[in-house]
Amino acid sequence: MQSIEQVTKRLTTDRNWFNKCMLGVLFSIIPMANFVAFGYFYRLFLQGKRQEEISLPEWSDWKELFFDGLKCFLVVSLFAFIPIAVISALASILPWDSESYLSHLPRYPAYFFAGPLSCSALYLYTLTGDFKSCFNFQAIGVLLKKGAKGYWVPTLALLGLVLMIPFAYFIGGVVYFYLMGQTLKSLERKADRR
């Protein structure tokens, strides 16, 4: 399995990497067009799942990117955005000052597990093409437990980048979704060998 450094180095060998990523940034911040960016992440996730070398896809097949992005967004919403929103809402009603460090404490695990949880559900979806697969919580638990060694560093790196700027977010997303697809496929291969 490749490291963040290896994936990043390979990513920048594409002579159009900056332009492709800037286009992704643009799509990420425009409502409705952001589904195209999610479709791009989905394609990178599938590359990682197939254990291919990372290569930035061309921005083509807009219709496919959009519909793949809708699927990816649905899974990420259900397993990342909604849990973060619920935990944030619950944290806001706790009896402490909303400006204190303690008020943000319950959100940190939600931020950390949002990526691995949504990518595990996305992985299960890619195995069957059925959204019901995303709700196999036993399988998600196994993926989260066994994949922790492979996802904790990219997850922390993405969280650090997300706090910076949209370009860093998109680059982080490119590397993250690819590595998560690769990590989860490695788990599947290990399980198949047994």
Q: Is 38 exposed, middle or buried (0-12, 13-18, 19+ CB in 10 A)?
A: buried
Assigned domain for 193 exists: no
Assigned domain for 27 exists: yes
Assigned domain for 101 exists: no
For the stretch 8-30, pLDDT in tens is 888 889 999 999 999 998 999 89
**CA 26, CA 91: separation in Å to the nearest integer?**
32
Assigned domain for 192 exists: no
Assigned domain for 99 exists: no
**CA 31, CA 88: separation in Å to the nearest integer?**
23
Place of tokens 């799942």: 49
Assigned domain for 179 exists: yes
8 Å CB contact between 175 and 154: yes
pLDDT over 80 at 161, yes or no: no
For the stretch 66-113, pLDDT in tens is 999 999 999 999 999 999 899 888 877 776 656 666 666 777 888 889
Assigned domain for 168 exists: yes
Range of the domain at 162: 4-82+114-187
130 φψ region: left (φ > 0), alpha (ψ -120 to 50), beta (else): beta
Give how many domains the chain has, as a whole number. Answer: 1
Angle CA 20–39–79, to nearest 5: 125
**CA 144, CA 73: separation in Å to the nearest integer?**
20
For the stretch 110-159, pLDDT in tens is 888 999 999 999 999 999 999 999 999 999 999 999 988 888 878 877 77
Assigned domain for 106 exists: no
Q: Output the pTM of the full model.
A: 0.79
pLDDT over 90 at 193, yes or no: no
